[in-house]
Chains A and B, each alone.
Chain A
Amino acid sequence: MRRALPWLGLGAAAVAVPLVVRNPFFLHLCILVAMWTLLGAAWNVLGGFAGQVSFGHASLFGIGAYVTIMLYLKAGIAPWWGIPVSGAAAAVVSLPIGLLTFRLRGPYFSLSTLAVAELVRLVALNWESVTNGPVGFLITDLPPVRILGRAVNWEAKEPFYLTIAVLAVAGLASTAWLRRSRLGAYLAAIREDEDAAEAVGVDTVRAKVLTLALSAFLAGCGGGFYAFYFRYVDPDAVLAITLSMEMVFIAMVGGLGTVGGPLIGAVFLIAIGETVRARFEVGHLIFYGLFMMLVIRFMPEGIWGRARRLLQRRAAAGAAAPGGLDGAA
């Protein structure tokens, strides 16, 4: 119970943000930060905790987006119910993907995820009868909803922000739980030396597949939210390889394998993106690439990773274990 307190605190702080941030544009930025935190955390679970670098996570996000929007437009299921279904759908799809791609190790695995993601994108682009092909889907009206007697205003940012803020905090909390759990210990071992892990009794395939499923669930929920907020889904918007790279960027810059890293990484992603957009209008990806290179060169443990290390050095008297599991967020 003691462990849950900081998370409830974070949740409360997150939910209180709209009381402080009134400007719709800035609230929109907060929405983006929260969404990307969730996506970064999703990627980090597989890439940071387990050391399995995926370049195809956009496919899980995209599947989530399509599921939510299609459930609403074709079956009338409201997006807020669609989001967890999206997560589940992405998790289910990730099972065969994992069983197949986890036969490979290291860079082989990473590139196979690229191939899978490309295939998913091609399916979305060409299977027009189901996915509307390049045209995609558009939500024109969201269902009217009353909460506590008042009608929800879908034109305002607040309802969307609150949804994604709760999702993001819950997502981060789940990664913190994972890290301390038995599965989290297995993942750290797999990341360090997969054969040695297997040799001490860890079912590495099961561990990786389960982790991918969790990662997919979070990414799928993120995709579902995307459909809910942006109301337009097409292959370019939700299955582009740049989205996968942005997820990698967030985890890398924030801190691979840390819990708090994705939040920091998301803040940087949005900050850089907005700054560039304000000055140059296009080309923010240039800076993502540049920034990634700089971080890997000068701060490979990420911003949050470096901050934690400095804090730990000051706090601990003896030899702590920065990369292990006895640390906090």
Chain B
Amino acid sequence: MALLEARGLGRTFGGLKAVAGLDLAVEQGEILGLIGPNGAGKTTVFNLVTGFVRPTAGEILFEGRSVVGLRPHAVVARGITRTFQVVKPFPGLSVLENVTVAAFPRHPRRRDAEDRAREALGRMGLLGKERTLASQLTLIEQKRLEVARALATGPRLVLLDEPMGGLNASEVDVASGIVSSLRAAGITVILVEHVMKAIMRISDRVVVLHHGEKIAEGPPAKVVQDAGVIAAYFGTAGRQAS
């Protein structure tokens, strides 16, 4: 049984089909890359899985149980946590507080929650900045904070929405390492990313979306060669060039 399964998933906004007829299966322990040109529907898929938006069609099963109709916090309780494309820290709270909030639902006592938070911060290398205000962190630190917060919720599946946006080459390497380390910790990952280098290196499998539909699926090396995928990104002239 796949960890996460989407069957015939669809969402329309007015006249626009953001996602249509999507079948997706994510296996326990894999890193799945989700790519596609801008507007392909990737973030919408995240919003659908995590309950920020309701599907207009189809079903989403996590560990065999439907998660459709659950509010986002309930989805987190089931074991799926997401990060945001543009980081959303709690700016006026300290780094420790940011993560403690995420730990509280599973650890009602403050002491336990803070311990769990420190553990997550340690894994993200942010322990030294415990008392700094989140608004005073650098971008890459805020991204690490976002991941630490996600970790503190004790997820089995993490959805990362373009975590490498705005990072330079060496920062991308570090971030790739962090994503791989999540898998090592037993967490399954779906990674939306535009930085192809990262996707190629760390994904086990890649799914390509275009205009809300899946157009390719498979190991990264194969997908990148797919004519349809190239056409989607570059147009048909690109197809001729390849």
Contacts and interface: CB of A to CB of B under 8 A. Distances in A.
A and B touch in the complex (CB under 8 A): yes
Interface of A: 180-182, 185-186, 188-189, 191-193, 195-205, 318-321, 323-326
Contacts of A326: 94, 96-97, 131
Interface string B91-102: 111101100111
Nearest to A257: B92
A268 to B, nearest CB: 25
A320 to B, nearest CB: 7
Given A185-B100, A186-B104, A199 B93 contact: no
Contact of B72 (A181, A199, A320, A321): A199
A233 B85 CA distance: 54
B76 interface: yes
B90 A192 contact: yes
Contacts, number: 102
A201 B131 contact: no
A327 to B, nearest CB: 10
B73 A196 contact: no
B97 A185 contact: yes
Contacts of A193: 88-91
Contact of B113 (A182, A203, A318, A323): A182
28 contacts: A182-B113, A185-B100, A186-B101, A188-B101, A189-B93, A193-B88, A193-B89, A193-B90, A193-B91, A195-B88, A196-B89, A196-B90, A198-B72, A199-B76, A199-B81, A200-B153, A201-B76, A201-B106, A204-B73, A321-B133, A323-B92, A323-B133, A324-B92, A324-B93, A324-B97, A325-B93, A326-B94, A326-B131
A199 B94 contact: no
B214 interface: no
A196 B88 contact: yes
B50 interface: yes
Interface string B55-82: 0000000000000000111101100011
Task: Identify the 10 closest CB pairs spanning chains A and B, nearest first.
Answer: A201-B76, A192-B90, A323-B92, A321-B94, A200-B102, A196-B88, A201-B105, A189-B101, A198-B72, A203-B73
Contact of A201 (B77, B94, B133, B136): B77
A203 B71 contact: yes
Given A186-B101, A193-B88, A319-B133, A198 B94 contact: no
A192 B131 contact: no
B108 interface: yes
B89 A325 contact: no
A325 B149 contact: no
Contacts of B81: 199-201
A182 B108 contact: yes
A10 B121 CA distance: 38
Nearest to B133: A321
B101 A200 contact: yes
B132 interface: yes
B189 interface: no
A40 B92 CA distance: 23
B76 A318 contact: no
A259 B112 CA distance: 25
Given A185-B110, A197-B101, 15 more contacts: A182-B104, A182-B108, A182-B110, A196-B88, A196-B89, A198-B71, A198-B73, A199-B52, A201-B73, A201-B81, A203-B71, A203-B74, A319-B132, A321-B94, A321-B131
Contact of B131 (A198, A205, A318): A318
Query: Which of A185, A195, A199, A204 lies at the interface centre, i.e. has the most chain B CB atoms within 10 A of its CB?
Result: A199
A196 B92 contact: no
B26 interface: no
Contacts of A197: 90, 101
Interface string B117-156: 0000000000000011100100000000000011011000
Contacts of B108: 182
A188 B90 CA distance: 8
Contacts of B92: 188, 191-192, 323-324
